[in-house]
Amino acid sequence: MSDPLILRLKSLIIATLKLTEIRAEDIPDHEPLIGSPKLGLDSIDALELVLAIEKEFGVKIGSSEESRQALASVSTLAAYIRSQKPDA
């Protein structure tokens, strides 16, 4: 069963970071987003992603430690958003 929030997050990641050669199904739910060889995201990408997520979902990702934890993987990001916005 696919989680609509996870699919939405993957699409947002692809659109925000202009990952034209990657499809949503290519992004693993539980692999690290930052430093992953598949995505190759760096700290600038992470910042762009945090801003896009805050705008899209109306959540606030505070400290760099908080963003590092939230961006650990797509599934941890979905859990973080749900902890901030239970109706997401």
Q: What one-character-per-residue DSSP string does 54-87 give?
A: HHHH-----SHHHHHHHTT-HHHHHHHHHHH-TT
User: Global pTM?
Assistant: 0.89
| Burial of 10 (C-beta count, 10 Å sphere; 0-12/13-18/19+) | buried
Superfamily classification of domain 4-84: ACP-like (1.10.1200.10)
Q: So what's the pLDDT on residue 39?
A: 81
| CA atoms of 49 and 86, how far apart (whole Å) | 20
Residue 73 confidence class, pLDDT cut points 50, 70, 90: very high
Q: So what's the pLDDT on residue 24?
A: 93
Q: So what's the pLDDT on residue 1?
A: 53
Q: So what's the pLDDT on residue 86?
A: 79
pLDDT greater than 80 at residue 88: no
**Segment 37-57 mean pLDDT:** 89
- Please count the residues of the chain: 88
* Alpha carbon separation from 18 to 24, 39, 48, 78 (Å, rounded): 12, 11, 11, 20
What is the percent of the chain where pLDDT is above 70? Answer: 99
